Amino acid sequence: MAKEMKFKMEKAASPCTYKVVDAIVDGLTSQRPQTRYVVGIDAKLMVFIPYLPTFIADYVFRVN
């Protein structure tokens, strides 16, 4: 079970680590940093799931 989950996470992981680095640099150098920096499609989806109707959120979790 753990190996399967690790494989899924590695497959879904993005090789674009520069996006995370850019968000960190932006947070450190900004005069007014944001409270949260959401990086990546999966993180943006997780931010909006609570605002979706329950049946749609359930479908999103079931498909992934």
Domain membership of residue 1 (yes or no) is no
Q: Please state the three-class secondary structure of 1-64 as a single string.
A: CHHHHHHHHHHHCCCCCHHHHHHHHHHHHCCCCCCCCCCCHHHHHHHHHHHCCHHHHHHHHHHC
Domain membership of residue 10 (yes or no) is no
Domain membership of residue 3 (yes or no) is no
Domain membership of residue 8 (yes or no) is no
Percent of the chain at pLDDT above 70?
Answer: 97
Q: What would the pLDDT profile of 24-54 be if each residue is shown by its tens digit?
A: 999 999 999 998 898 887 788 788 888 889 9
- Give CA–CA dist 21/39, Å, rounded: 10
What does pLDDT average to over the chain? 84
Domain membership of residue 7 (yes or no) is no
- Give CA–CA dist 28/58, Å, rounded: 36
Range of 39's domain? 15-63
Domain membership of residue 4 (yes or no) is no
Domain count, the chain: 1
